[in-house]
Amino acid sequence: MPSEPSSDVVADAVADAAAGAVAEEQHVLDTALARQAEILQQIRAEIAGAAQDRTEAVRVRALQQRHREIERAHDGLIFGRLDALDGTARHIGRLGVREVDEDAEPLVLDWRAPAARPFYTATPLDPQGQARRRHVRTSGTTVLDVNDEPLHGGAQTDLVGEGALLAALDQRRTGQMTTAIATLQREQDDIIRADAAGPLIVQGGPGTGKTVVALHRVAYLLFTHAQMSEQAVLVLGPSPRFLDYIAQVLPALGETAVVSATCDTLIPGVSVTRTESRVVSEIKGRGVWQSALEARVASLQPSERELTIRWEGEDYQLSPAQIAQALRASAPGRSYHAGRAVFTEHVHRLLTDAVVERREAIMAGMEEGFEDILAGVDKKSGAEQDVGPVTRSSSQDVDGMLSEEEVEDLRDRISASPLVAAAVTGWWPSLDPGQVLQELLEDASGLAFLSDQEAELVAGEPRGWASSDIPLLDAVADLLGEIQISQIEGEFVADRARRHRGWVYGHVVVDEAQELSEMQWQMVVRRCPTRSITAVGDIDQAEASHRHTTWAQAVHGAFGDRWTAAELTICYRTPREVMELTAPILRKAGSHNDPPRAVRSSGVAPWQQTVDAENLPAAVKTAVLELQGRWAGGTVGVVAPTNRLGELAAAGLENVPCLSAPQAKGLEWDAALVVDPDGIAAEPRGWNGLYVALTRCTQELGQLVVS
């Protein structure tokens, strides 16, 4: 009976196989990178050729955008491979890389292509015709290692690429989110590839990858629906800090037709300059403002009264009946300024008709007088003298009628006249959205849709825009109507959309969507009337002033019952040791949801230390230094009650974010220090805030309780 090979022999064989696999993948990566360089060179040549022709400006922009997308997908070009049971091997990457022969199988299959989907959905329980999934880890142009996962007869697990996933989750955090296309899980992939025809509301607890799913869904939709690239996609986040955190994800996925913003920054040229109480913020966030603002703007439209316009030294009166006709033609379905533009065109026509009618009446009188004169001359000269035909040197007909060309010229001159424009503007003035809203907010008597006490609170606010004013201002600007913005030559679609308040996007993604008020949801719908919207969030982490405790309450005003629900149930980020603390917190927050199931353990038990208030800053600094020492190369974050942030700022915490619970939402660090958890719980909606604070870490959680 042959002897068993020694452990050294087995180890050598495993090492040789691993080295061979790395060499194999290195060859594929080298080939793909070389082909990618050829494609980039071809695009540059096309850009140079097309740039000589002004009519090719649109094509040049498209080529430039494509060049940028391919360049940005250089790092990590290949991250996976699928080996099918029939022997077919496909490499999966950030972007597809085609062969010179376009009919041949691509060198690299785009991760969003239908054929790549088994990379995210195949498991040993459901191999989907695949024998093996391989994760390829690279750095720049070098393959570092591979991780093979048998899919036919392998271990039974509900995780996809468990080894690669857990290795990625254990990596140190850098302060910026990275792509997760190599480790997306099946429930995440299902949401990423879900139909985009209507609103999709995704509920997910801490660490379930909500933001990862939302951003990768953007990349998938832009790949799958070409028209979205022409309209751009809007990504709404809760704060500028959060947008900075996710800023590298979509460019790394090769996507550029994306505008990132917060609700506060959606109106170009308008910024938040003051804070306000939660009470006033809640009042201004209610959906009732939409109908109230509609009524307010409608009341500003002029009534059916006479309009006098001076033209070439003479006054012309347009009667109330004529004005009423023009108003009826201009009103239906139009904004204030769009209706005014249509009304102005009608006024130009009515004034033209009045001028023509007056001139023709004068000419008719002149003709009649001239005929009387001629009759007298004929009578005096007698029948013996023939005066012959009378010649008129006018381009008008004998009856005094103006020609069509003359009427058209008159109408053009009236339309271009500054005096006529001034008369119309004086009768129907242009309005500034800010002024209209400010006048309403300062007039308690005009806020009849609120209680007397609420109206006094709103009217008593100082000037300047608060966050809750932005949706109201947006609604007024929409009701008044847009000023057309010209396109800048060579401008990318995202840049133009960013400049244009009324831009209509192909899709909108909302992160931390549980924070939006009813009026903020109206802002979202305004920018995507088709309601092709993906909203991700955790209703149990809501901190905003409204009191929505279910998604049905939160989105009813915007979508009614026409929305689809999805849920992320697995927590990948937060370790099991921490998630075990959260169930009692959720109960105190009034939630009926179960916390997500954590799939990993960090091996580090959460700890708690009691300190007195006087020594708190020093204790925080000591704890942070200890955490930084244990998690060198990673990140540490501090979460504290809002009223303690000032004193902690003096603790000398260098390069360590010290944030309130709302500010920390959506962020993650290797280690998190929660300062004064009782103080966080005592804040408005504090149990929700504490739930947020406790779930920011990927490895270690510490708490400093103030005695």
In angstroms, the CA 259 to CA 245 distance is 15
E-strand spans in 179-256?
200-204, 233-236
Average pLDDT rounded to a whole number, residues 114-130: 88
pLDDT at 625 over 60: yes
In angstroms, the CA 415 to CA 421 distance is 8
Of the listed ranges 193-197, 458-462, 489-493, the least confidently predicted one is 489-493
Average pLDDT rounded to a whole number, residues 59-70: 81
Q: If we measure between CA atoms, which residue out of 200, 212, 206 comes closest to residue 248?
A: 212
pLDDT at 157 over 70: no
pLDDT at 514 over 80: yes
Strand 258-261 to strand 697-706: parallel, antiparallel, or no bridges (unpaired)?
unpaired
The token pair at 631 is 């998690």
Q: Which residue has the higher pLDDT, 463 or 387?
A: 463
Neighbouring residues of 439: CB distance < 8 A, sequence distance ≥ 6: 446
Q: Which value, to the nearest 10 degrees, does the dihedral of the CA atoms of residues 194, 198, 199, 205 take? A: -10
DSSP 393-411: --SS-TT-PPPHHHHHHHH
Q: What is the DSSP letter of 535?
A: E
In total, the chain counts a number of residues equal to: 707
Phi, psi angle pair for 668, to nearest 5°:
-150, 150
In angstroms, the CA 112 to CA 110 distance is 5
Tens of pLDDT, residues 589-605: 888 778 888 888 899 99
In angstroms, the CA 541 to CA 662 distance is 9
Q: What is the DSSP letter of 108?
A: B
Q: Which value, to the nearest 10 degrees, does the dihedral of the CA atoms of residues 401, 404, 409, 410 take? A: 40
In angstroms, the CA 92 to CA 83 distance is 11
Average pLDDT rounded to a whole number, residues 94-104: 86
Q: What is residue 65's predicted lDDT score, i.e. its pLDDT?
A: 77
Ordered by start, the domain boundaries in the chain are 7-157, 210-297+435-571, 301-373+397-430, 576-706
Q: What is residue 420's predicted lDDT score, i.e. its pLDDT?
A: 94
In angstroms, the CA 532 to CA 199 distance is 6
DSSP 561-607: T--EEEEE-EESSS-HHHHTTHHHHHHHTT--SPPPEE----S---E
Identify whether the C-beta of residue 436 lies closer than 8 Å to the C-beta of residue 429: no
pLDDT at 439 over 50: yes
Phi, psi angle pair for 239, to nearest 5°:
-160, 160
pLDDT at 486 over 80: no
In angstroms, the CA 148 to CA 82 distance is 10
The alpha-helical segments, DSSP class H, found in 232-277 are: 240-246, 249-252
From residue 141, give the alpha-carbon distance in Å to each of 32, 168, 191, 556. 10, 19, 31, 50
Identify whether the C-beta of residue 701 lies closer than 8 Å to the C-beta of residue 671: yes
The token pair at 85 is 């049971």
pLDDT at 653 over 90: no
Percent residues over pLDDT 90 in the chain = 54
Q: Which residue has the higher pLDDT, 437 or 186?
A: 437
Three-state secondary-structure class, residue 693 = helix
Q: What is residue 166's predicted lDDT score, i.e. its pLDDT?
A: 54
E-strand spans in 273-326?
307-311, 314-318
Average pLDDT rounded to a whole number, residues 599-622: 93
Residue 506's Cα: distance from chain center in Å?
A: 10
Q: Which value, to the nearest 10 degrees, does the dihedral of the CA atoms of residues 611, 614, 616, 621 take? A: -120
From residue 669, give the alpha-carbon distance in Å to each of 52, 169, 314, 536, 644. 50, 11, 76, 21, 20
Q: What is residue 493's predicted lDDT score, i.e. its pLDDT?
A: 84
Q: Mean pLDDT over all residues of the chain?
A: 86
Identify whether the C-beta of residue 282 lies closer than 8 Å to the C-beta of residue 480: no
Query: Highest mean pLDDT: which of 247-251, 486-490, 519-523, 683-687?
Result: 519-523
Q: What is residue 387's predicted lDDT score, i.e. its pLDDT?
A: 43
Identify whether the C-beta of residue 571 lies closer than 8 Å to the C-beta of residue 597: yes
Phi, psi angle pair for 246, to nearest 5°:
-100, 5
Q: Which residue has the higher pLDDT, 476 or 665?
A: 476
Neighbouring residues of 474: CB distance < 8 A, sequence distance ≥ 6: 266, 267, 501, 522, 523, 526
Q: What is residue 603's predicted lDDT score, i.e. its pLDDT?
A: 92
Q: Which residue has the higher pLDDT, 542 or 616?
A: 616
Query: Which amino acid is residue 313, in one-letter code?
Result: G
Q: What is residue 390's predicted lDDT score, i.e. its pLDDT?
A: 43
Phi, psi angle pair for 611, to nearest 5°:
-135, 155
In angstroms, the CA 99 to CA 270 distance is 49
Q: What is residue 398's predicted lDDT score, i.e. its pLDDT?
A: 45
In angstroms, the CA 257 to CA 245 distance is 19
pLDDT at 343 over 50: yes
Strand order in the sheet with 669-675: 607-611, 697-706, 669-675, 636-639, 658-659
**pTM for this model (two decimals):** 0.77
The token pair at 672 is 């998190």
From residue 287, give the alpha-carbon distance in Å to each of 267, 282, 292. 19, 10, 9
Q: What is residue 681's predicted lDDT score, i.e. its pLDDT?
A: 95
Q: What is residue 642's predicted lDDT score, i.e. its pLDDT?
A: 94
The token pair at 348 is 């130009």
Identify whether the C-beta of residue 81 lies closer than 8 Å to the C-beta of residue 108: no
Q: What is residue 230's predicted lDDT score, i.e. its pLDDT?
A: 86
For 210-297+435-571, CATH gives 3.40.50
pLDDT at 392 over 50: no
Percent residues over pLDDT 70 in the chain = 87
Residue 596's Cα: distance from chain center in Å?
A: 27
pLDDT at 171 over 60: no
Decide if 210-297+435-571 and 576-706 have a common fold: yes
pLDDT at 532 over 60: yes
Of the listed ranges 34-43, 165-174, 211-220, the least confidently predicted one is 165-174
Q: What is residue 50's predicted lDDT score, i.e. its pLDDT?
A: 80
pLDDT at 394 over 90: no
Q: How confident is the model at residue 558 (pLDDT cuts 50, 70, 90)?
A: very high
Strand 697-706 to strand 607-611: parallel, antiparallel, or no bridges (unpaired)?
parallel
Identify whether the C-beta of residue 624 lies closer than 8 Å to the C-beta of residue 633: no
Q: How confident is the model at residue 294 (pLDDT cuts 50, 70, 90)?
A: very high
Q: How confident is the model at residue 395 (pLDDT cuts 50, 70, 90)?
A: very low
pLDDT at 17 over 90: no
In angstroms, the CA 185 to CA 160 distance is 6
Angle between helix 288-299 and 518-527 (nearest 10): 70
pLDDT at 458 over 90: yes
Identify whether the C-beta of residue 302 lies closer than 8 Å to the C-beta of residue 347: no
Of the listed ranges 115-124, 191-200, 608-617, the least confidently predicted one is 115-124
Q: What is the DSSP letter of 654?
A: T
* CATH architecture entry for 576-706: 3-Layer(aba) Sandwich (3.40)
Neighbouring residues of 501: CB distance < 8 A, sequence distance ≥ 6: 266, 267, 268, 474, 477, 482
261 forms beta bridges with 236
Q: What is the DSSP letter of 127?
A: -
Q: What is residue 167's predicted lDDT score, i.e. its pLDDT?
A: 58
Q: b/e for 39-52, b at 16 or more Cβ within 10 A?
A: beeebeebbeebee
Average pLDDT rounded to a whole number, residues 326-337: 85
pLDDT at 549 over 60: yes
Three-state secondary-structure class, residue 382 = coil
